[in-house]
Amino acid sequence: MGEAVEFFHCNGFSKVNQIIIEENGCDDSWFEEEIDVDLKWSFALNKVLHKGTSEYQDIALLDTKRFGKVLVIDGKMQSAEVDEFIYHECLIHPALLCHPNPKSVFIMGGGEGSAAREALRHKSINKVVMCDIDKEVVDFCKKHLTANHEAFCNTKLDLVINDAKAELEEREEKFDIIVGDLADPVEGGPCYQLYTKSFYEKILKPKLNNNGIFVTQAGPGGVFSHKEVFSSIYNTLVQVFKYVLAYTAHVPSFADTWGWVMASDQPFCIEAGKIDKKIAERIDGELLYLNGASFVSSTILNKTVAKTLKNESHVYTEDDARFIHGQGVAYRR
């Protein structure tokens, strides 16, 4: 969702490309994200809980006035406490509900623990592997994001610190569901190769069981932003799987409509009544956002986005990647 992380104070002071806090006697500090060269998104802070640079990315955990605790990676909003349920319910539940009887889940990324939390709500699940490359992100999310403490302590969770690509290659087991809860592809970021055709085709797909489903977050899906990576990720998966389904939802803290793509070699059943029945039977507790009707409606894309996806020709490769606006640590080095 952007490149620069800035804090503006009552004296107008700001500094680009790093996180700063200026003690100047005023109460107003703001987080600012550069969504594009001519577009910024900002909101007021209570305080900064953590900031630093790991081996792989810039990291910040912010306590905001509007959105609660917010995780920011490489200057880009990743998750906000008050509305992360929208993103994570849309990421996790459609794939698990479309599978006839999911037992195992592999999550690529997901360091904050919310994707694992939602997967573990399914009564049929015996094992969730969460593989994140950045131990520092995982450690401070375990410490600060209290909503996910129970998930991190669940005996069904296998938490692995590793590159997800390497981890999938090394494991002999297969999974019913594989989830891409990765940071958005930015130039110099740690994970753009996990959006490529070669990765999907040669590494990921062979690790799916029969009836297996892959789902990934796919970046901004708005009228003006969907061509950045959403349409390319969709078209790339069309080259690898028989059935590919794109869907979107508005996430307030992202200041945009967001996109996900689900793929399988088995057809999807997305009848609203059947989905509601499965939600009632399979999931512990009540979902806050997703039901059968809302999921079905999320798959009906507006004319502009639907036309782009239909006509998209770009295939995501290591040598011909698309990135959203922003830069990762490796680029800046």
Which of these, 31, 40, 28, lies nearest to 325 by C-alpha position?
40
Q: Which helix (H) or strand (E) holds 315?
A: none
Q: What is the reported pLDDT for 324?
A: 80
- Evaluate if residue 119 carries a pLDDT over 90: yes
Q: Please state, in angstroms and rounded to a whole number, the distance separating the CA atoms of residues 279 and 307.
A: 31
How would you class 110 by CB atoms within 10 Å of its CB: exposed for 0-12, middle for 13-18, buried for 19 or more? buried
Would you say 2 and 37 are in contact if contact means Cβ atoms under 8 Å apart? no
Cα–Cα distances in Å, from 66 out to 31, 44, 60, 231, 257?
Answer: 11, 7, 17, 31, 19
- Evaluate if residue 333 carries a pLDDT over 80: no
Q: What is the reported pLDDT for 250?
A: 98
Name which of 144-153, 187-196, 311-320 the model is least confident about: 187-196
- pLDDT digit string, tens, across residues 24-38: 444 579 999 988 889
- Evaluate if residue 13 carries a pLDDT over 90: no
- pLDDT digit string, tens, across residues 242-283: 999 999 999 999 999 999 999 999 999 999 999 999 999 999
Most confident of 6-15, 42-51, 240-249: 240-249
Active site positions, annotated: 181
- Evaluate if residue 44 carries a pLDDT over 50: yes
Would you say 128 and 116 are in contact if contact means Cβ atoms under 8 Å apart? yes
Amino acid, res. 25: G
The mean of the pLDDT values for the chain is: 89
The three-class DSSP label of residue 169 is: helix
Cα–Cα distances in Å, from 186 out to 160, 195, 228?
Answer: 23, 11, 11
| Residue 75 pLDDT grade (very low, low, confident, very high; cuts 50, 70, 90) | confident
Q: What is the mean pLDDT of residues 115-123?
A: 98
Q: What is the reported pLDDT for 15?
A: 35
Amino acid, res. 282: R
Bridge-partner residues for 69, per DSSP?
Answer: 63
Amino acid, res. 209: N
Domains of the chain: 5-80 (2.30.140.10), 84-318+328-332 (3.40.50.150)
With a threshold of 0.85, does the pTM exceed it? yes
How large a percentage of the chain has pLDDT more than 90?
74
- pLDDT digit string, tens, across residues 298-331: 999 999 999 999 999 999 999 999 998 776 665 4
Q: Which residue has the higher pLDDT, 145 or 169?
A: 169
Q: Please state, in angstroms and rounded to a whole number, the distance separating the CA atoms of residues 182 and 129.
A: 14
Q: What is the reported pLDDT for 55?
A: 87
